[in-house]
Structure 1
Amino acid sequence: MRSRRMYLTSFYVTIIICMTLYCTPNGFLYKGVVFHRLAKADDKVFEPRRPLAEYAGISPRHCGLKCFNHHLCSSFFINKEKKVCKLSGEVDARKLIKAPGYRYYVSEDCKRSDLGWEYLGSRDRTKAGVLCQRWDQQYPQKHSYQFLAGAQNYCRNPVKSYAKFPWCYTTETDNTWDYCYIPKCATPARECRTTDRGEDYFGTVNWTVSGRKCSRWGDRPPGNQSYAILRAEENYCRNPYGEKAAPWCYVMKDKPEFELCDIPRC
């Protein structure tokens, strides 16, 4: 009985600790943002240059919190034994150099398209570090994006093809709006959809339900400019506006037409 009680106590202590430290199988979780460890970058660090910030005597979790709270940080290197933390933006994995003991974590609060039209993350500061205005407020900036009221003050690209990157209105009276820093994702997209219509799907399926090969988005029908945002998406199934029942693509028959793709739910 005593051993069972000790086992249960140990079990619940482990659960409590894990909840306190925001544990995930391969990283850390803080306020809904996952920092995923890239095992292929173990024992490496970026080329010698000044990081966004560097800290000593700090744990991996606190290093992640530092990155979360830095508006230009999207990844960090941590040496658990030396307790050295280096914050960074986007890193070219091909330029990493050997540095025994370091582990590399990347933020999943990122974009997969160049324009970031699909971005639904929680970054809420401009690239200059200015706090974003809430979308459900009209001060100090008046606007017509009330349909984003549920997005709090997070950076968005609501018109998708209008702006070059996600952006927001600022809380400064002399600065109406500005772009936000949203890093490109460093981890592969999942081969499934999390919504019914798959607006968030960024996998590599390029066949329709009937087995037809998808055409490249750059070869879309002349005059259809709505899907110019997909030019960089090769011929992968997508549903950027959610107007179709599932991710889809164009196929070539006598004339261009579309077909749905078979993308499973996650």
Structure 2
Amino acid sequence: MLIVQDELFKSVNKTMDIECAHLPIVGANAILSIHNNATKPFKKGQNATYSCVKWSSLHSNDLYKYGFSQTAEPTDLERFQNISLTCQGYDIWSPNMTTLPRCVEFRECKKTKNGTDFYGVKYNVTASGKPCLSWKNQTIDSTPKLKSDDRYPVDGSVENAKNYCRNPLRKAAPFCIIDNITAKWEFCDIPECEDKRPFACSTTLRESEVFGPTSRETIAGDPCQYWNSSSPHPVYPAIEFIMPDEIGTAHNYCRNPYYTLVGLWCYTQNPNVRFDTCPSTHCPGYP
């Protein structure tokens, strides 16, 4: 009996030492390479490398397929190369993938008028020259939404947004906080992109940055109502201020102006269905 128990104990310990049956899930434009060509299940201590797909390795015809602009610079897409990951056991990899930035293009210009698409990393002063303060380190909660990770879909978290100019409240332009005590803010002066074409796919969970042609009907097949119309359903009065693009050019394409978890959606032309979800536009490789 003791021999059987001892063998069982060894077997359990051996299983516990393996304990990374799966690789961590990575988003679009990212790749994982396993050290020493190891195969799963991976032993505790096994290392892997997280990297972004290099812009320079993509054929020009594939850029939009992967959500990249044809005017992107290789350095923009290769800022997060070779981050080492280690299996901690029990399918836990460190650092946690949710803390790592997504492989996306960091353009230093805005494609939309209100700049909700802007996620550059060079602008952290206001138009008047005042330094921006960290989004995370506000000392008051007068605007709690500013601390929500959901408001920074491309950065991935409020921490990753640091003190960069952003538009988490869908104001007229990107802005930043300049006084933590009063929550005073000012607009930033972000240049417009020469290439204003929208991406063909999304690299974020909520797809809130998507603009341009998308589906014009819901998953259920109902045609979408035009965003600047109130028939057959009334729309939120200030929706034009939170759209990622101009409400007139949005036509009846699917959008996600409220950062909802369901992703793209629209008001429908079906009198019995006010709104519904739309087909996803996630890039190839997005989980």
Pair 1:195–1:137, CA change in 2 (3 A): closer
In 1, distance between residues paired with 2:69 and 2:178? 27
For 1:250 and 1:144, the matched residues in 2 are separated by: 28
Indicate yes or no: 2:279 matched with 1:262: yes
Letter paired with 2:137: Q
The residue type paired with residue 167 of structure 1 is F
- Residue 115 of structure 2 corresponds to 116
* SS of residue paired to 1:24: helix
State the identity %.
28
Q: How many Å apart are 1:246 and its aligned residue?
A: 2.3
CA contact (8 A) 1:191 1:263 kept: no
2:237 to 201, 225, 235: 225
* Structure with greater contact order relative to length (CA < 8 Å, sep ≥ 6): 2
User: How many angstroms apart in 1 are the aligned matches of 2:273 and 2:228?
Assistant: 13
How far apart are residue 262 of structure 1 and its match? 1.3
Q: How does 1:193-232 map to 2 (within 5 A)?
A: 193-205=202-214, 206-220=216-230, 221-222=233-234, 224-225=236-237, 227-229=239-241, 230=243, 231-232=247-248
Code of the residue aligned with 1:189 in structure 2: it is: P
Q: Residue type matched to 2:174 in 1?
A: P
Give, as a single letter, the amino acid of the residue that structure 2 aligns with 1:260. T
Structure 2: which amino acid aligns with 1:214?
A: C
8 A contact 2:114–2:173 mirrored in 1: yes
The 3 A distance-change label for structure 1 pair 24 and 211 is: same
RMSD: 4.0
Higher strand share: 1
**What amino acid maps onto 1:261 in structure 2?**
C
Specify the alignment match of 2:99 in structure 1: none
Q: Which residue of 2 aligns with 1:5?
A: none
Superposed CA offset, 1:158-189 (max 9, x none):
222xx32111123799xx53211223342421
Give 1:1-266 correspondences, 5 Å limit.
24=56, 36-37=70-71, 108-122=107-121, 123-138=123-138, 144-145=143-144, 147=147, 149-150=158-159, 151-160=161-170, 163-170=171-178, 176-185=184-193, 186-205=195-214, 206-220=216-230, 221-222=233-234, 224-225=236-237, 227-229=239-241, 230=243, 231-232=247-248, 233-255=250-272, 257-266=274-283
Paired amino acid for 1:136: K
Q: Equivalents in 2 of 1:128, 1:25: separation in Å?
A: 40
Q: CA deviation at 1:113?
A: 3.4
The size of the alignment, in residue pairs, is 172
Closer/same/farther in 2, CA of residues 195 and 119 from structure 1, 3 Å limit:
same
Question: Hey, what's the Cα distance between the residues in 2 that align with 1:225 and 1:113?
Answer: 20
CA 1:110–1:138: 2 relative to 1, 3 Å: same
Tell me the SS of whatever aligns to 1:218: coil
The amino acid that maps onto 1:202 is F
Assess, with a 3 A threshold, how the Cα gap between structure 1 residues 158 and 234 changes in structure 2: closer, same or farther. same
Q: Residues 111 and 212 (structure 1 numbering): CA distance in 2 closer, same or farther, change over 3 Å?
A: farther
The residue type paired with residue 133 of structure 2 is Q
User: Mind listing any 5+ residue stretches in structure 1 that lack a counterpart?
Assistant: 1-21, 27-33, 39-59, 66-106
Describe the shift of the 1:247–1:24 C-alpha distance in structure 2 as closer, same or farther (beyond 3 A).
Answer: same
Q: Can you list the C-alpha shifts for 1:33-69, whole angstroms capped at 9, x where unaligned?
A: x98549xxxxxxxxxxxxxxxxxxxxx99xx99xxxx
User: Could you tell me whether the CA contact under 8 Å between 2:69 and 2:199 is conserved in 1?
Assistant: no
Letter in 2 for 1:240: P
Uncovered stretches (5+) of structure 2, i.e. residues with no partner: 1-53, 59-67, 77-105, 149-157
Deviation by residue 1:6-45 (Cα, 9 ceiling, x = unmatched) = xxxxxxxxxxxxxxxx97369xxxxxxx98549xxxxxxx
- For 1:258 and 1:133, the matched residues in 2 are separated by 38
